[in-house]
Amino acid sequence: MRRLTEDRYMTESITPHERGTVGTRAVILIGHGSRAAGADDDMERIASGLREKSGGIVETCRMSGRGIPFAEAFESCVERGAREIIVLPYFLHFGVHLREDIPEILRENARKHPEVRLVLGKHLGYDDALVNLVAKRIWESEDLCDVRELAPRRSTVAWEMHRRRSDHDPASRK
């Protein structure tokens, strides 16, 4: 199988047939997880975008909380014909989950399917693109309310309205 440069792996110009990975490669995004409903919606949106770009198998899972665990996402990929699975940790920091917990979860599941190549991919970590994203978020946050104006703790409705105002309403910028 030929190797492609990083910038061409998930582009619309390269089809799964050109990659030689039709039915053989899958990607699993693994996140921390949360008990809060909707907390992982952004990771799901990223996975959806990757599916659209690649036309391939892209699953999500969580280490805890709501959502499916890794074992279910892994089995789903295998059942759909994946023979190589890249697990991409949806984490910014290289902490204990990345150093210990996730590798152990992957090793445990890899034993069940020795015919499948299971790769622990690079976590999100630092990237120059994040500098621009953080700068964008700072700009989007300039007109948001003072923290004392947010609803009391446990009220996610006010927080979601606050968050969505900056995410989806360019008119909210004065």
Please work out, in degrees rounded to the nearest 5, the angle formed at the alpha carbon of residue 115 by the alpha carbons of 25 and 94: 60
Q: Judge if pTM exceeds 0.85.
A: no
β-sheet with 25-31: strand ranges across: 57-62, 25-31, 84-89, 117-120
The token pair at 37 is 């409903």
CA distances from 51 to 19, 22, 56, 60, 105 (A): 15, 13, 6, 11, 24
**Which pLDDT value is given to residue 154?**
61
Q: What is the pLDDT of residues 101-146, one digit of tens each?
A: 999 999 999 999 999 999 999 999 999 999 999 999 999 999 998 8
d(CA 148, CA 143) in angstroms, rounded, equals 14
Between strands 25-31 and 57-62, the pairing is parallel
**Which pLDDT value is given to residue 14?**
39
- Three-class DSSP category at 66: coil
**H or E element at residue 57:** strand 57-62
The token pair at 119 is 């790769």
**Which pLDDT value is given to residue 57?**
95
**H or E element at residue 38:** none
The CATH code for residues 6-120 is: 3.40.50.1400
Domain range summary for the chain, segments of one domain joined by +: 6-120, 128-172
Taking each helix axis as running N to C, give the angle between helix 156-168 and helix 128-141, from 0 to 180 degrees, rounded to the nearest 10: 110
**Which pLDDT value is given to residue 86?**
97
